[in-house]
Structure formats: C-alpha cells, structure tokens
Amino acid sequence: MNASPVILRTENLVRTLTTEALPVTLIRGASVDIRTHEFTAIKGPSGSGKSSLLYLLGLLDAPTSGRIFIDDFDITDYNQKRTAQIRLEQMGFVFQFHFLLPEFSSVENVMMPMRRLGKLNDREIRKRAIEKLDRLGLADHLDKLPSQLSGGQRQRVAIARALANDPRMIFADEPTGNLDSESSKTVQGILKDLAHQDGCAVVAVTHDPEFAKNCDRIITVVDGQIVS
Amino acid sequence: MRLLVFIALKHLLARKRQSLVSLMGIILGVAFFLGISSIMQGSEEDFIKRLVDNSPHITISDEYREPRIQPAEKVYQNSLVSIRNVTPLTETRGLRGYEKILNELRSTPGLLASPVLAGQGIITYAGQEKAITLSGMIPEEIDAVSTIRNYMVEGSLDRLFGNPDGILIGINLAKDLSLSLNDMIAVVAPSGDVKHFKILGIFKTGRGGYDRGQGFIHLKRAQTLFNKPNRINSILVKLDDPQLALSMSKDIENVIGYKAESWQEQSADLMNTLVIRNIIMYSVVSAVLIVAAFGIYNVISTVVMEKHRDIAILKSIGFQSEDIRRIFLIQGVLLGIAGNMVGIPMGIAMIKALSQIKFKPPGSSDIVYMPVSWGWEQFMIAASFALCASVLAAYLPARKGAQLMPVDVLRGGS
Ligand SMILES: Nc1ncnc2c1ncn2[C@@H]1O[C@H](COP(=O)(O)OP(=O)(O)OP(=O)(O)O)[C@@H](O)[C@H]1O
Ligand SMILES: [Mg+2]
C-alpha cells in the first residue's frame, strides 16, 4: 500500500484563530502524507481539532503557518481563486450534515460541480450525474428535492456530488455521524471502493471505532496535534 | 454565467413573497415615474406652446442694449475721459427706417413680421376714465403675428379691416366701463389729442390684466394719435420654428442694431421656474425609486443571510468569491428587469388613464384633457434608473456574501 504516491503533503501546519478574547490554536504543527488508493481515517476526542485539520487539508481554510503541497507543488500561498479551482477539479467534500442545496433536486445538486467546471454539455452532464446517483442506488430519486429524501439518501446524494468531477481526493467529515448502522455500512463501503477501485485519496473524520477499523490508516489527533 | 443566472433565479423563486414585495416597489417606482413625468412634461409643453403661440417669437424694439457711445469718447479714444450726467436728446423715438428693416425681414424664409406702434391712451366713457395700452397695427397682418382672433367673444377681427376708426378691446375693460359692441368711445392721447373709436370687437384671453388694459387700433390712426407719423416702436416676428428664436434674435440684433428679444429671453424667469419644477419632480420620483432600492437591498440581504450554508457549499464545491458575488448581483438585475417589465406597461396604462382625465382650468370656460406627453427618453431614464438602483442595492449584500469563508459556516453550523 505504501507504494501508492503521495498526493497531498503538509509540513508543520499551525492554525490559530484570533477571537475577541484570547487567540485559540486549533492545530499545532501537523505534518501528514495523504496517498492515493488509501482510505485514511482521522480520529480523536471531541474538540481535538479533527474537523479543523480536514478543512486545512481540503483548502477550505488557510493555515497560520506551515506548508501544503499537492503533487509536490507548494500551494500554500495560492489565492482563493486558485484554491477554488483545485477544489473544483480535484477534490470532493462530504460533510456530516449532508450539505445539499435545498432548492435543487438530487440530480441538479450532482450536476452543479460539473456545470461550474463547464467541460461537458448539459446533456452529457445530466447523463453522468444520473450514473453517479445510480452507483449510489438513487436512480429512483433523481428529481426529488433534498427535503423529500431520508437522511441516508441525502448523504448518498452528497457523496454522488463529491464524485461529480472525478476528484483525486475526497474529504469526509463524519459522513456516517447521524446514520443508522445499515446506512453507515453502505457509506463506508462506497468510500472504501472509491479508494481501492477508483484510486482516490479518501480522508474521513470519524468517531466510530468500527469505521476506523475499516480504513487502511488511522491518524489520531489529540489537542491539535497528531499523535499517531 | 448561465449557471449563475439559474442559481440566482432559484434563490429568488424560493422566496416568492419577499421577492414580489420588493418587486412591487420597483414596479410602482417605475410606473409613477412614467405617470408623473408625463404630466409634468405634458403640462410644460402645453404651457410653452401657449406661451409661444400667444406671444411674438421675437420682439424688435426701439431700444439699444448698450448705451450709445458718446462723441467725446470717440474722439478721445484710450484716454481718461469720464462723461457723467448724460441727458438723452429729446427726439421722436421709434425704429428709424423701419420699412427697410421690415422688407429685409420679410425676405427671410419661415418668418413673418409686422410693425406695431404702441402707446398709452386714456379711454373716457360716461364720465369714467381708464388708461390702456393701444397697439396700432396693420389689421390684415394681425393674424400673422398674434392669436387674438381666437379669443374674440363679440364682434370680429375682420370688421377692423376696412374700418380705420375701429378698436378692439378686452372683456374686462368692457365690463368695467359698461361698454358694449358698436359703442363709440373717446381716447385721449398723452399730448391731449382726442380721437373717437367704435368698438368693433371684444376679446377674452383669460389674462385679466391684458383683458383690462389692452386695445388694438389701426397703425395709421395710432401714428396720428400719438403724433408719430411714419414711426413705429416695435416689430413683432413669428417664426415657423419657434426654437430658432434665440439664435435668430441675435442675428437680427447684429444686423439692425436695435434690441431684438426672443420669447425665451422675455420669459426667462418662467423658463427658470420650469427648470426648478423639473428638478423637484425628478427628485421626488427618484426618491420613490430609492425607497424601492432599499426594498431590494432588504431582500438580497436576507437571501445572503439565509444562504450562508449554500454559499459555503458552493465555495467548497469550487465556486469562486466572484461567482458568489455575481449570483447575488444577478438577483438585483433580475429584480430590476422584472420591475421594468411590469412597471413600464403599468406606467403606460397610467399615462393613458391620465390622458383621459378632463378638467376645467380655473379662469377658463372650456373643459380640457390633462396634457400628457411622453418620449423614449422618459422610458430610458425610468428603466435605467430602476436597473441601476437594483444593482447598487444588490451590490453591498453581494460583496458581503462573496467574502464569506466556507469554514466560518462549517465551524458554526456543524
Ligand atoms: N470559532 C471558534 N472559536 C473558538 N474556538 C473554536 C472555534 N471553532 C472551533 N473552536 C475550537 O477548536 C477546537 C477544534 O475544533 P474542531 O471542530 O476541529 O474539533 P473536532 O475534533 O472536529 O470536534 P468534534 O469531534 O466534536 O467535531 C475545539 O476545541 C473548539 O472548541
Ligand atoms: Mg468535527
């Protein structure tokens, strides 16, 4: 497994929040390697900084100090425009509370990243979106709004959307956090397939020890530091 | 861009009621703007038309704009000569060589000119006396430079034609002195000469002072009455295109030397009043649209606030700050366009309705329609103002939305 290439690497990331009171340091010197074909879990006690680390890896947040490399390119100082482009082309996100756009149907939600990328025409985009939803067993729910779907279904739509532009990296923050064990198993299976079959780098934050056991590698965060 | 419009539209349609309320603001703003400006413009045009029709377009009078140069100043040029207490020579005033001037004017195309000798006279009748201005004119030419024919209520202008001892007077004077048609009146000139005239017509212009203090007689009679043979003191000019009056009057003045005043110059203070009226109107109507803009600001701010989550999602997907800003700006544009699309037809309907209103102006006996007037400029102003207001109102919330970082929402929301 260690033979697969490192796609995302960080050196000594520090993230300090400046609040009205005292500055809070969320992450204190995190250095990690994320590889393709690998299903990585981030675990740790509540409030330890798992989500914060994930946001830094996914370029949703900028570190106070430290460097981030993608394919050995230092992208730490990229502006919001360039990081947005990297997220669009190479990254997919799944959050705990299945963040779907409420006014748009399942298929429209999945089409959104492809339409923003604009490489295909509308017909092809729709066809591909249906394929992604079909893969997640949602072929019958294409035109439903998020409010008309169950929690597990919404989470799967969110995963389908994360896969829209065939990303090389997938970041998930407690994707099974509020799913029953049945749906949880399905989601875990899908993420694992994405790493092993599609060759993505999959990083998932989890509290669930069962989930963590399913992964290839576990990063443990305690009090803003990586302990193993 | 198409995608951004699609998202913007979805956002607005998701809160139909709020969008409609803010839309109403723009619609009403645009419609009122069109309605009010059409009355303002209509009444202004009506007013100017009356002004232009009822007064000569250019009046050439026996005055000079600059005082005449004193001979001493001519002799001692560039020297320290100061001349004070100049008393004008007593002379028979009037336009010199007016026949030549008239002939010259009459050879200009699109121009009608007629001479006038006006002076003060006192009318005495049944022991009462009234001072009036008597305009001596060539009766056959009155129609060319005056609209008095339209205001005749008794007798007629034509009766003056072959009748050198006739006079036309105003209705108020007739009432004051209990005069009626065909009565003979005596007119006393400043020199003391007395002449008798027969009332051949009575006019009513609606302007009280004019109807009380103005009379028309033959030019030749006026010249004898005022003892100014072969003199006139003004030439009235009518133009086919009244707008040329200003430049034409300058040309005339340059050629003949006498003062030539255009109608614009004569009613400069009235024209100023119209400008002020327009300024007031445009500020009031703009205020309506500014209030509408606040409505839009309100909706789009609310949308931005409620859409923090969606902004975070879109940004995590890979939308740039610029895309987010555009989504909300487009909402402003959409509201502006929709406001125009409903507001303009509504404004047209309002103009149509206004033009059907009949009323009786004070001091007039006829019922007239409300004067309305509209042109494409008005529609352009209304449409672009509404659009600009909408975009400006959307700009601030759009910028705020664009600045939002996904982590701000993710940290707070999950
Ligand atoms: N806006 C904020 N201001 C101050 N402190 C914050 C803020 N957001 C998060 N924190 C702190 O940062 C630390 C890390 O938060 P983070 O969400 O990364 O933890 P986590 O490991 O994901 O926790 P959980 O398992 O509960 O999701 C926490 O101690 C939290 O209190
Ligand atoms: Mg967390």
Q: What is the pLDDT of residues A36-69, one digit of tens each?
A: 999 999 999 999 999 999 999 999 999 999 999 9
A51 vs B414: CB contact, 8 Å cut-off? yes
Last residue of a domain, one of B258, B286, B301: B258
Candidates B410, B411, B414: best to mutate against A (most CBs of A within 10 A) is B410
In a domain, B78, yes or no: no
CA of A52, closest atom in ligand 1: 18
A103 vs B13: CB contact, 8 Å cut-off? yes
Cα distance between residue A215 and residue A203, in whole Å? 9
pTM confidence score: 0.75
Among residues B188, B212, B170, the alpha carbon closest in space to that of B119 is found at: B188
CATH code of A99's domain: 3.40.50.300
Minimum-distance ligand to the CA of A220? 1
| Residues B29 and B174 reside in one and the same domain | no
Q: Is A123 exposed, middle or buried (0-12, 13-18, 19+ CB in 10 A)?
A: exposed
How far, in Å, is the centroid of ligand 1 from the Cα of B309?
A: 18
A81 vs B413: CB contact, 8 Å cut-off? no
Contact B410, B312 (CB under 8 A): yes
In a domain, B281, yes or no: yes
| Residues B316 and B355 reside in one and the same domain | yes
Note the pLDDT of residue A1: 47
How far, in Å, is the centroid of ligand 2 from the Cα of A225?
A: 15
Q: How many CB atoms lie within 10 A of CB A213?
A: 10
User: 3-class DSSP state for residue A216?
Assistant: coil
Note the pLDDT of residue B63: 78
Residue A216 CB contacts under 8 Å (≥ 6 apart), including other chains: A1, A38, A39, A40, A195
Contact B252, B60 (CB under 8 A): yes
In a domain, B87, yes or no: no
User: 3-class DSSP state for residue A47?
Assistant: coil
Note the pLDDT of residue B91: 63
Tokens of B52: 């232009």
In a domain, A31, yes or no: yes
Minimum-distance ligand to the CA of A52? 1
Rg (CA), chain A: 17
- Taking CA atoms only, the protein residue closest to ligand 1 atom 9 is B411
Cα distance between residue B204 and residue B154, in whole Å? 9
Last residue of a domain, one of B228, B258, B288: B258
The ipTM, to two decimals, is 0.93
- Taking CA atoms only, the protein residue closest to ligand 1 atom 10 is A26
Out of B407, B411, B414, mutate this one to test ligand 1's pocket (max ligand atoms within 8 Å of CB): namely: B411
Note the pLDDT of residue A143: 93
How far, in Å, is the centroid of ligand 2 from the Cα of A218?
A: 16
B414 vs A117: CB contact, 8 Å cut-off? no
In a domain, B80, yes or no: no
The H-or-E segment that residue B206 falls in is none
Out of A15, A50, A208, mutate this one to test ligand 1's pocket (max ligand atoms within 8 Å of CB): namely: A50
Size of interface A-B (CB pairs under 8 A): 77
Q: Which residue of chain A has the CA closest to B308?
A: A101
Q: Which residues, by Cβ under 5 Å, contact ligand 2, an ion? A: A 51
Q: Which residue of chain B has the CA closest to A59?
A: B316
Note the pLDDT of residue A127: 95
In a domain, B184, yes or no: yes
CA of A48, closest atom in ligand 1: 21
User: 3-class DSSP state for residue B260?
Assistant: strand
In a domain, A1, yes or no: no
CA of A50, closest atom in ligand 1: 21
Note the pLDDT of residue B400: 92
| Residues B142 and B189 reside in one and the same domain | yes
| Residues B114 and B198 reside in one and the same domain | yes
Asked if B313 has any chain A CB less than 8 Å from its own CB, the reply is: yes
Minimum-distance ligand to the CA of A56? 1
Q: How do the pLDDT tens digits run along chain B, 414 residues long?
A: 789 999 999 988 888 888 888 888 889 888 988 888 888 888 888 888 888 887 888 888 887 777 666 777 777 777 777 777 777 666 667 777 788 888 888 888 888 889 999 899 999 887 888 899 999 999 888 888 888 888 899 888 888 888 889 999 999 999 988 888 999 999 998 888 889 999 999 999 888 888 999 999 999 999 999 888 888 888 998 888 888 888 888 888 888 888 888 888 888 888 888 889 888 888 887 887 788 788 888 888 888 888 888 999 999 999 999 999 999 999 999 999 999 999 999 999 999 998 888 887 765 666 778 888 888 888 898 888 888 888 988 999 999 999 998 888 888 753
A147 lines ligand 1 (CB under 6 A): no
b/e for B295-309, b at 16 or more Cβ within 10 A?
Answer: bbbbbbbebbeebbb
Which of B3, B11, B414 is closest, CB to CB, to A115?
B3
In a domain, A126, yes or no: yes
b/e for B374-411, b at 16 or more Cβ within 10 A?
Answer: beeebbebbbebbbebbbbbbbebbebbbebbbbebbe
| Residues B280 and B220 reside in one and the same domain | no
A95 vs B414: CB contact, 8 Å cut-off? yes
A99 vs B309: CB contact, 8 Å cut-off? yes
Among residues B278, B287, B303, B285, the alpha carbon closest in space to that of B394 is found at: B303
How far, in Å, is the centroid of ligand 2 from the Cα of A51?
A: 4
In a domain, B363, yes or no: yes
How many domains, in total, are found in chain B?
2
Note the pLDDT of residue A112: 95
How far, in Å, is the centroid of ligand 2 from the Cα of A113?
A: 24
First vs last Cα of chain B: how many Å apart? 31
Contact A75, A11 (CB under 8 A): no
Last residue of a domain, one of B258, B290, B306: B258
Note the pLDDT of residue B365: 62
| Residues B332 and B251 reside in one and the same domain | no
Angle between helices B321-355 and B2-14 (to 10 degrees): 60
Chain A hits for B309, CB-CB cut-off 8 Å, are 99
| Residues B32 and B181 reside in one and the same domain | no
| Residues B334 and B402 reside in one and the same domain | yes
Range 31-50 of B in CB contact (< 8 A) with A: none
Chain B hits for A112, CB-CB cut-off 8 Å, are 3, 314, 317
A83 lines ligand 1 (CB under 6 A): no
| Residues B324 and B370 reside in one and the same domain | yes
CA of A96, closest atom in ligand 1: 27
Q: Is A224 exposed, middle or buried (0-12, 13-18, 19+ CB in 10 A)?
A: buried
Any idea which residue has 């509408």 for tokens? B292
Domain that holds residue B11: 2-52+270-410
How many domains, in total, are found in chain A?
1
Candidates B6, B10, B317, B414: best to mutate against A (most CBs of A within 10 A) is B317
| Residues B108 and B241 reside in one and the same domain | yes
The H-or-E segment that residue A153 falls in is helix A151-162
Q: In sequence order, what E strands does chain A have?
A: 6-17, 24-30, 33-35, 39-43, 65-70, 73-74, 91-94, 169-173, 201-205, 217-222, 225-226
How far, in Å, is the centroid of ligand 1 from the Cα of A92?
A: 22
B313 vs A99: CB contact, 8 Å cut-off? yes
How far, in Å, is the centroid of ligand 1 from the Cα of A22?
A: 15
Cα distance between residue A106 and residue A138, in whole Å? 9
Q: Which residue of chain B has the CA closest to A97?
A: B414
| Residues B315 and B374 reside in one and the same domain | yes
- Taking CA atoms only, the protein residue closest to ligand 1 atom 5 is A24
Residue ranges in chain A modelled with pLDDT below 50: 1
A52 lines ligand 1 (CB under 6 A): yes
CA of A207, closest atom in ligand 1: 25
Note the pLDDT of residue B363: 59
Note the pLDDT of residue A54: 94
In a domain, A145, yes or no: yes
Contact B95, B235 (CB under 8 A): yes
Residues shown for chain A: 228
Among residues B408, B401, B410, B405, the alpha carbon closest in space to that of B324 is found at: B401
| Residues B277 and B354 reside in one and the same domain | yes
Domain that holds residue A69: 6-226
How far is the alpha carbon of A161 from chain B, nearest alpha carbon, in Å?
9
Angle between helices B321-355 and B16-54 (to 10 degrees): 50
Residue B169 CB contacts under 8 Å (≥ 6 apart), including other chains: B123, B132, B179, B199, B201, B202, B203, B214, B215
How far is the alpha carbon of A115 from chain B, nearest alpha carbon, in Å?
7
